[in-house]
Amino acid sequence: MGLTIRFDARALADLAEIRDYLIEHSPSGAERVRLHMVETIDRLSDFPFLGPATDEPNVRVLPLTRYPYLVFYAVIGNEVVVLHVRHGAREPFDPSTL
């Protein structure tokens, strides 16, 4: 059995914002993105070091393969903590703000 996945409050807010935006523009597209995001994040349970490290200690980033989103996360003990989810086309993100 893999590590537990936990979502930080910021990541939950990010996901709600992404969902609201996508549903407004394409409900079926929103569902496809949601399913791919769930599959990708779930994979971190078994492969927590899948994403490369950032310059910020203990923070890693995993890009989704089909959609331009980045999942920032940390491996803490027996948990993968999802810290932030953002669209990759947004201005560069400083992981030290997590």
Structural domains for the chain: 4-97 (3.30.2310.20)
Question: What pLDDT sits at residue 98?
Answer: 63
CA atoms within 13 A on the CB side of 88: 11
Distance separating alpha carbons of residues 86 and 46, to the nearest angstrom: 23
Query: Mean pLDDT score of the chain, rounded to an integer?
Result: 90
pTM confidence score: 0.88
Select from 74, 98, 70 the least CA-distant residue to 4: 74
pLDDT digits (tens, 9 = 90+) for 17-53: 999 999 999 989 999 999 999 999 999 999 999 999 9
Residue type, 5: I
